Amino acid sequence: MTTDPAVACVGVGRAYGERTVLRDVSFELPAGQTLAVFGANGAGKTTLLRMLATLLRPHAGDVRVLGSELPQQGWAVRGRLGFLGHEPLLYSALSARENLRFHARLHGVGRERVDGLLAAVGMELRADEPIRLLSRGMVQRVAVCRAVLHEPELLLLDEPYANLDPAAVALVRPLLTGGTRVLISHDVEGGLAEADLVLGLRGSEAVLLGHDAAQVRKLYA
């Protein structure tokens, strides 16, 4: 029995107006493994991640995520993805608990999971304050809860440990490990340690690299 890769991209491209952001990106990520994506700012990492999250359409090439072609079959996949981007995607007037309950309703998840997750990241005491009163690190913790609320098969993470102090990182890490992951990170050592596959983006070109820190650093040169 052949297992399809969790994520497969062939010749994927995306342009913004007349500027090509991604060109000919190809890789296969088997289920259960982690892909680390490195590249300087503006190299197209976020664009790639958003494409895998069904938020952007590819302008060229084929994208298959969890067995579904994007963008036509995006609807089949959305509930099985967990996305953590730059924005926390939380409403600032509502509390953490209310935000998570809202997302739980959208995904058909029960309320107990919300409370459980809030406790797991150490936010149960401040779960009922409006988000706008929380520090950036706390907001990030709640955002992690949001991303994993519906127990997704594939995690798409854009610098998940940004804004987090070491104690918070320790709380959050167990929630974000396991399963298939695509991880964008600026932490070369940390990212490489967690990765099974490494993708480097430079200009709009994408190259599969080995676990070589020196090669990764060259992307930022």
Q: Does 168 interact with another protein (rule: CB under 8 A)?
A: no
Q: Which two tokens stand for residue 192?
A: 């490489």
Give the nearest distance from C-beta 13 to another protein in angstroms.
5
Smaller CB separation from another protein, 124 or 205: 205
Could you please report the per-residue DSSP string of 97-154?
Answer: HHHHHHHHHHHT--HHHHHHHHHHTT-GGGTTSBGGGS-HHHHHHHHHHHHHTT--SE
Least separation in angstroms between residue 192's CB and another protein is 28
Residues in 70-99 at the binding interface with another protein, rule: CB under 8 A: 71, 75, 78-79, 81, 83, 85, 87-94, 98
Would you count residue 10 as binding another protein (CB under 8 A)? no
Stretch that binds another protein, among 50-58, 110-118, 189-197, 205-213 (CB under 8 A): 50-58
Closer residue to another protein in complex, CB, 80/186? 80
* Cα gap 83→53, rounded to integer Å: 7
Of the residues 56, 123, 183, 199, which one makes contact with another protein according to CB under 8 A: 56
Site string for another protein, 96-125 (x = CB under 8 A): --x---xx-xxxx-----------------
DSSP string, 63-112: EEETTEEETTTHHHHGGGEEEE-SS----TTSBHHHHHHHHHHHHT--HH
Contact assessment for residue 90 and residue 118, using Cβ atoms and an 8 Å cutoff:
no
The whole-angstrom separation of Cα 219 and Cα 197 is 16
User: Which CB, 140 or 216, lies closer to another protein?
Assistant: 140
CA distance 219 to 221: 6
Q: Which residues bind another protein (CB under 8 A)?
A: 13, 15-18, 20, 23, 53-61, 71, 75, 78-79, 81, 83, 85, 87-94, 98, 102-103, 105-108, 130, 146
